[in-house]
Structure 1
């Protein structure tokens, strides 16, 4: 007999699950046997996942910036679906601007999702995991958290804060059996990445991708040594590893999945 998939019997909460990396994480976890509570501020994407996977995926609308809504959803999930074993914080926003032109609203909105949202979800679930003495929390951050980027100060700072928060949480929870790690992608072929490119046809998109791969000295940006932009599944596979028992002795770790783009600076 074939062994059961490695995440069989586990329940995961994924934020930002409606598209991009979050959607890919749902696919990866389900394929490994987990049940998933897929959440997003926009309902259509998570509803499609629930239709695709039936009872293995439950879809809920969630604004991670609303701490009361987060607490209510986590409480409901634990009452109706069972104890949460895995949390993956993926929900994120990107607003690009030079600092001199960066508005108060753009700064606040970026931190509200990328940092406060991670805090709200992780705090709520970790309280419950700590009492059970088991669990895994993964925050999807960015390699921009570890290296300066022009026109991305709010995004980079918010992701750096999310990384350090997750590490501090992991330090507090390690004696209680709960592991906390981060995955930091580089350029990944998502709507967020395409939103930074000129609008156009496939040829225009290919040229924009080539510039990312080659790098841009004018913006102090290295290229990607592996010569390709990541697929969302590349990030999801890293997340799936970190939440599995194969990573049982890994916590407080920040795993860069960027094809070597930051030269691990």
Structure 2
């Protein structure tokens, strides 16, 4: 079967789908034949995806920090569009502050989206997938979950928690045919990445990411380029496909070698 049909007949839920990696994941899954429920807190981006793909993409607003909203959306989706075969947790936020300046509100908000949101969505969909004996859940985390970074304690800790949660869930549901994996990107050309760069100095900022920064104990990128969101989306599409049918509890780093797998 060609890649453009490898997910035909399957229904996927994607969070954080309005831009960046989430938007690229929608393109990757829909481009492989899946029907995709594209969700985001903001409607604009997912509505544009729905318009672009016609009936193959359905746009919905969703606050992943609200467990009732998540459960209602999953129940509605399964009642109207059929069983969910795939769920991809992409919704995330970044708080870039040293711990001494990190407020209680920033810490709580980061975990509410990056960790609690993954829990709410994965719990809801896995309950249904296990009853059917099949399904695939992928959480998009970060290579910062495995390597300490300055000024990113809240983000890194929340992503590390999401990785371990997804692995623990995967262990519980594997005997019932559900696979759970994580994809951990490094620096990727998204609004989140650009938000950490010096305004008006994008080229130099990108070069510093590729070359690394010894002052902040950050390695460069051995492959010499910053990832495109499609690089991450292609990894997700592989993990939810039958080509990865014997892969679960895996954390796939897509970072050009930046962490040196330390």
TM tier relative to shorter chain: over 0.9
Aligned residue for 1:37, secondary structure, equals strand
d(CA) in 2 for partners of 1:3, 1:111: 35
Partner of 1:221: 218
Do the aligned partners of residues 29 and 76 (structure 1) sit closer, same or farther apart at CA in structure 2, a change above 3 Å counting? same
Partner of 2:44: 44
1:60 aligned to 2:60? yes
1:107 aligned to 2:89? no
d(CA) in 2 for partners of 1:4, 1:231: 20
Partner of 1:122: 122
Partner of 1:9: 9
Do the aligned partners of residues 237 and 4 (structure 1) sit closer, same or farther apart at CA in structure 2, a change above 3 Å counting? closer
Please give the TM-score of this superposition, normalised by the length of structure 2.
0.99
1:244 aligned to 2:224? no
Partner of 1:171: 171
Deviations 1:71-128 (A, max 9, x none): 0000000000000000000000001100011000000000000000000000000000
1:15 Cα deviation from its structure 2 partner: 0.1
d(CA) in 1 for partners of 2:70, 2:4: 32
d(CA) in 2 for partners of 1:137, 1:167: 10
Query: Considering only aligned residues, what root-mean-square deviation do their CA atoms show, in Å?
Result: 1.0
Alignment of structure 1 residues 147-166 onto 2, 5 Å: 147-166=147-166
Do the aligned partners of residues 195 and 262 (structure 1) sit closer, same or farther apart at CA in structure 2, a change above 3 Å counting? same
Alignment of structure 1 residues 174-189 onto 2, 5 Å: 174-189=174-189
- Name stretches of at least 5 consecutive residues in structure 1 with no aligned partner: none
Partner of 1:259: 256
- Name stretches of at least 5 consecutive residues in structure 2 with no aligned partner: none
1:139 aligned to 2:119? no
User: Which of 201, 205, 208 is the equivalent residue of 2:205?
Assistant: 208
Contact 2:90 2:139 in 1 (8 A): yes
Do the aligned partners of residues 2 and 144 (structure 1) sit closer, same or farther apart at CA in structure 2, a change above 3 Å counting? closer
Deviations 1:176-200 (A, max 9, x none): 0000000000000000000000111
1:236 Cα deviation from its structure 2 partner: 0.1
Do the aligned partners of residues 134 and 100 (structure 1) sit closer, same or farther apart at CA in structure 2, a change above 3 Å counting? same
1:47 Cα deviation from its structure 2 partner: 0.1
Please give the TM-score of this superposition, normalised by the length of structure 1.
0.98
